[in-house]
Amino acid sequence: MKTYNWGFLGTGNIARSMASALDHVPGAKRLAAASRSDETARQFASAQGFERAYGSYDALLADPDVDIVYVATPNALHRDNILAALNAGKHVLCEKPMTLSADDSAACFDAAEKAGLCLMEALWTAFFPAMQKAIALIQSGEIGKPRHVTANFVSLRRPEADPTLFDPTLGGGARNDLGIYPLAAALLLAGPVARSSAHMIIGPTGVDEMAAFTLEHENGALSLLSCGFRAEMPVAVRCVGETGSVEIASDFHHPDHVKLIRHGQEQVFSLPYLGNGYAHEAIVFQDCLNGKQSAWSRAQTEACAALMAATST
């Protein structure tokens, strides 16, 4: 089995989660970690089992032994980090959202294709066995044609606890933090979008703190979606078709089961995930390096970016 050397840009919470997940990824080796300071990089590398630590992102990108760069920096830095990693000849798995616009995401994908390298958005929701099962149930016609999707990710956040989420210069806001999850669920379960509208509530720091989306899909299905920081709601998704429904009633962003409802009867499929759940996207990404197709495509990344960039209020 081929071994892939992973290098991490960023040492925050999500980087720690991904580092732990690599224990469940065959052929993955934690090689190098980079932060903006030597001390932070060394502390992270020691705690998470990386062999090398770098006090700058450029230093890690110059390491010839790094095969894959995982970008886990603030949202506003993703585009430049991706392009720098690609320019250094590295394959890139970038945390969601890949960039803050569809045009920037397209530019990154174009650069990857030109360089003959793999680039993928690390949208873990798309890769869970339960979500893949939900997609398969719908595509096999178990509920007839999809007609209506609801998906919500509204979770209380406070500026004093999560200042980055409320900082517009770092790509904060409910859409960039949480909105991609319901939007992605709608795309995965009901397909491409023909028309959309959005409504935002902007908070005192200038970021959107609540957002709602209405999507009309190309197949005629309608999606009603919401995300936000100002309340707690079940993180749930439901797709209703002509003859039944598929739903994940809690934590659809990292699900371990999916429910099929037809003719008044329920069937629950239990599909546990590996470790903390991040391993699935890493496994798929390494498979992509061997020519396999990703469960989350360039077109879907760009579509989500365009939908999240909506500014109507």
- Annotated active-site residue 114? The verdict is no
Dist. CA 196–CA 213, nearest whole Å: 7
The pair of three-digit structure tokens given for residue 104, joined into one six-digit string: 């920037």
CB 191 within 8 A of CB 218: yes
- Give, for 264, the enclosing helix (H) or strand (E): none
How many H helices and E strands in the chain?
10, 14
**265-270/257-262 β-pairing:** antiparallel
Please choose, from the candidates 215, 240, 239, the residue with its C-alpha nearest in 3D space to the C-alpha of residue 225.
215
Dist. CA 246–CA 241, nearest whole Å: 8
Q: Which of 2, 90, 96, 133 is catalytic?
A: 96
* C-alpha 74 chain-centroid distance: 14
Q: Starting at the earlier edge strand, list the strands of the sheet with 208-217.
A: 193-202, 208-217, 222-228, 146-154, 237-241, 244-248, 257-262, 265-270
Catalytic residues: 96
